[in-house]
Amino acid sequence: MAFLQNSQGRHKYLKKYPVSGEVDTLNNHKLIGFSDSPGLNKWPLRQEIDLRYSLRASSGETIRQFCIAGQGLALLSNFMVHKDIEEGRLIPVFTDDIVSPNRREPVNAVYYKNSAVSSRISAFLDFIQPRLIL
């Protein structure tokens, strides 16, 4: 299964550091990235840019909270931020520069078949399997 991705920014941050619309100015911004998963720090942009992150976290939720607090820009999955966008806490930026805003990333569900699976994990697997793109 995959999730849609979008870059997000906080209104307060964008007032202080306006987005020019030029993707090559991304490094003029405070970028927030993942510390443990460098692959998640590759933005699907029309032009390749070596991005420099001023703040890193190991959790997408922590990165989301940094964005809401106005600490910078981050690439986050829509499933994490759609409510924040709807409620005005975050706004999408550089949307025209994302190669495929509907880009999908793989997600793996790994578990031991020989051991008892909790009802919570079982419910998740039942939910996710019909939605997987093989």
Cα 85 to the chain's mean position, in Å? 13
Q: Looking at residue 95, what is its pLDDT?
A: 76
Q: Looking at residue 56, what is its pLDDT?
A: 95
d(CA 60, CA 102): 19
Can you give the pTM of this predicted structure? 0.69
Whether the pLDDT of residue 2 is over 50: the answer is no
Read off the pLDDT band of 3 (50, 70, 90): very low
Task: Give all domains of the chain, ordered by start, each with its CATH number.
Answer: 5-97 (3.40.190.10)
Per-residue pLDDT tens for 21-42? 777 788 888 999 999 887 788 8
